[in-house]
Chains A and B, each alone.
Chain A
């Protein structure tokens, strides 16, 4: 854990989009404000603050112009961690990988003094932390994540019921075994969120090695299916998995989001590099 946090010292979460909502902060907003970043001139209108008049420009043009500056906003970082039973699977375990990604992102958010909102989702959406700011909340975050254990099944539509997302970045960590992901990404984009998906999958899911006749049991729903696990079945499944990963990546990138395939046997630092690099 310490090694991970040390490695993350060099990473920074920077939004690509302008922040629309939220209080005054350190990131470019969508409107005009009082930052030091010059935006441009406009003709003076009656009633405007006289302090904003550019007198040098008046001297040159004999017309009154006011100087405009960019707005600076506070960024909210939302982390949604899927803690449904399907995440407790694979060797190395998907849940362990997902927890570390969430902790790393939370640590970086708190370190750079942005607001951290932390949610878990399974059959219900649970708000774990709200509007926390500052490194001092990291211990609280670790304790809370430690107490979370995967349970229940996946119902991502609960995200749609939330209507007070502050403008910023939403990190979504899940295996995304759902058909409603498009709706969720659309919803978050409308909420002016920059969406970054961490798609956590184990090797057993990507390339299953089971042989013979099997009774597959869904760990979430307890539903079962009998299959003849032969070469043909294996190949079809792998093809489906490839298509599934491709579809999620396409859904995300087509909405200006970022997609990171996080296999449980991957190096976690590489996963952060892929997720945060260039932001």
Chain B
């Protein structure tokens, strides 16, 4: 048996105080009376019942026992079920939320200690599998011995990744025997969970974004606690210009707030000022500096396209000599080998304007395309996939040659350039080219848990049991019983 809060045992000193009070109370107090005449008679009558004296000692004993049990309750004793099976699989949550600090120690360190305790109660011959649960799980030890795990576990560290439930399920279901997950989170998973830490108190930045048009930083704050929280969020740029906002968020809910970013700011730091256990998701940086922007070369004259590209905050238009990551040109030659290219063609004229339709892809995400027409089209190219079409004739398509490539009309002969769909189409296309690299620009925090759970990770005929045995509830029950007993003894003694 060990204690989650060993310092709580210090409250055992109060037992001495109870004894002191008892014996102080026991000290005989002198009381003058006018006459002992009647008291003598009363004393004679009472002396017949000697058991009362004993009742007082029983009362003291019960009270001391109750106090002792309360001390144990404060110290939170736990035990570990001994395990004698052939195989045991331990999944250790290595996601960034395990960096949460509680009582001067990270949850990850505590998790490692718990694994060592569990192994102490495990049979020598038991084979142990260790899975490090994160976004991409790893299985460093498979059917290893207790000692292997004990030696290995000392040198592992927590990651900055999220915990992927789907991957956790996939990794653990392949093993037989008892399975358990050591984590600090309430997971929707039917497995033996060895809980680390008491209660993860955390408020985090869920998402940040920058609105290029309004020059505002958009922040989504997530309250991961069950209780409502009043949260202070600050935004500060490199010139120490600071703005603070207070927001009240209900338990387990999210709230959006926005900050007006001062002009010419190169970067802003969004920070949650409230203290919580996990610092990792309390800060996020929004980089607005030119050098963080991705370089794009626009080699054609197209005012609509130029404006749309300029509205994307994480790219900038550069000259061909500046080694751009994406080339938007009307013609290609051998110098474009191994380059990402968007070829814009003038296209062939159609007789009449034809309605544009879209093929489902990330390029047309969030687009409506209502009453959009075109007067020209391009020729289909083998190996390419259509993005936009007009009467089955391609207007825009994508594919891969030596690098990513898109071919499209110049859109000058379409009314799409006058609609909000156009900048969305351009942004989606740029995003596809940059392949998520722009995410570094925002450094948004990751979710603590992602993925979905399809099933429990237990094998057939296996009971899900708690490895950890928390004695507190049994002690509380026993205390209540003793209190009833104490009342009965007190009633008899008084």
Residues of A within 8 A of B (CB): 86-87, 89-90, 94, 175, 177-178, 202, 205, 210, 212-221, 223-228, 230-233, 236-237, 240-241, 244
Interface 9-residue window, one of B11-19, B22-30, B173-181? B22-30
Known contacts: A212-B25, A226-B28, A228-B52. The answer to whether A90 contacts B42 by CB under 8 A is no
A212–B36 touching, CB < 8 Å: no
Contact A175 B29 (CB under 8 A): no
A-B contacts, 17 listed (Cβ < 8 Å): A210-B31, A213-B27, A213-B28, A215-B31, A216-B32, A216-B36, A217-B30, A220-B35, A221-B36, A224-B30, A228-B46, A228-B52, A230-B494, A232-B46, A232-B494, A233-B42, A233-B43
Q: Taking each of A178, A236, A241, which has the highest tally of chain B beta carbons within 10 Å of its own beta carbon?
A: A236
**Which of chain A's residues have a CB closer than 8 A to the CB of B40?**
225
B34→A219 contact, CB < 8 A: yes
CB-CB nearest in chain A for B26: A213
* CB-nearest residue of chain B to A154: B35
- Contact of B45 with A90 in the complex, beta carbons under 8 Å: no
Question: Provided the pairs A230-B494, A237-B38 are in contact, do residues A219 and B46 lie with their beta carbons within 8 angstroms?
Answer: no
B26 to A228, Cβ gap below 8 A?
Answer: no
Residues from chain B with a CB closer than 8 A to the CB of A178 are 37
> A216 near B34 (CB under 8 angstroms)?
no
Tell whether B493 is near chain A: CB-to-CB under 8 Å. Answer: yes
Asked if residues B34 and A175 are in contact (CB atoms below 8 Å), the reply is: yes
What residue in chain A is nearest B49 (Cβ atoms)?
A232
In this assembly, does B307 line the interface, its C-beta being within 8 Å of a C-beta of chain A?
A: no
* Closest chain A residue to B492, Cβ basis: A232
A221: which B residues are within 8 A, CB to CB? 36
Q: How far is the CA of A223 from the CA of B53 in the complex (A)?
A: 23
Q: Is B35's CB under 8 angstroms from A228's CB?
A: no
Inside 8 A of A218's CB, which chain B residues have their CB?
33-36
B interface, how many residues as a size bin? 20 to 34
Q: Which residues of B contact A215 (CB under 8 A)?
A: 28-31
Sorted from nearest, which 4 A-B pairs have the closest CB atoms?
A177-B35, A89-B34, A86-B34, A177-B37
Q: Does B39 contact A (CB under 8 A)?
A: yes
Pairwise interchain contact A241-B38, C-beta atoms closer than 8 A: yes
Given contacts A214-B31, A216-B31, A217-B33, A232 and B43 within 8 Å (CB-CB) = no
- Cα A87 to Cα B35 with chains together (Å): 10
Choose from B29, B34, B46, B493 the contact partner of A213 (Cβ within 8 Å). B29
> Which secondary structure characterizes the binding site on chain A?
mixed
A179 smallest CB distance to B (angstroms):
8
Within the assembled complex, what's the spacing in Å between the Cα atoms of A222 and B42?
19
Q: Is the CB of B53 within 8 A of A228?
A: yes
Answer whether A236 and B34 are a contact pair too, CB < 8 Å, given A214-B29, A215-B28, A231-B494.
no
B41 CB–A CB distance under 8 Å? yes
**Complex contacts, B26 vs chain A, CB 8 Å:** 212-213
A227, B39: Cβ atoms under 8 Å?
yes
Q: Which residues of A lie under 8 Å from residue B37 when comparing CB positions?
A: 177-178, 244
Find B34's partner among A177, A223, A226, A227 (CB 8 Å cutoff): A177
Shortest distance from the beta carbon of B53 to any chain A beta carbon, whole Å = 7
Chain B nearest CB: distance from A41 CB in Å? 57
Q: Contact: A236 with B28, CB < 8 Å?
A: no
Chain B contacts for A175, CB-based, 8 A: 34-35
Contact of B52 with A230 in the complex, beta carbons under 8 Å: yes
Q: Are B38 and A216 in contact (CB under 8 A)?
A: no
A109 to B192 CA separation, bound complex (whole angstroms): 98
In the complex, A274→B27 CA distance in Å? 44
Q: Does A216 contact B49, Cβ atoms closer than 8 Å?
A: no
Q: Which residues of B contact A216 (CB under 8 A)?
A: 31-33, 36, 39
Cα(A175)–Cα(B38), bound, Å = 12
| CA of A214 to CA of B28, assembled, Å | 5
**Neighbouring B residues of A230 by C-beta, 8 Å:** 52, 493-494
B450 → A minimal CB distance (Å): 66
Provide the residues of chain B in CB contact with A237, threshold 8 Å: 38-39, 42
In the complex, A183 Cα to B34 Cα: how many Å?
22
CB-based contact B42/A240 at 8 Å: yes
Please indicate the chain A residues that have their CB under 8 angstroms from the CB of B30 in the complex: 214-215, 217, 224
Kindly state the separation between the CA atoms of A228 and B46 in the bound complex, as whole angstroms. Answer: 9
Closest residue of chain B to A202 (Cβ to Cβ) is: B34
Contacts of B42 in A (CB 8 A): 227, 233, 236-237, 240
Q: Which residues of A contact B32 (CB under 8 A)?
A: 89, 216-217, 219
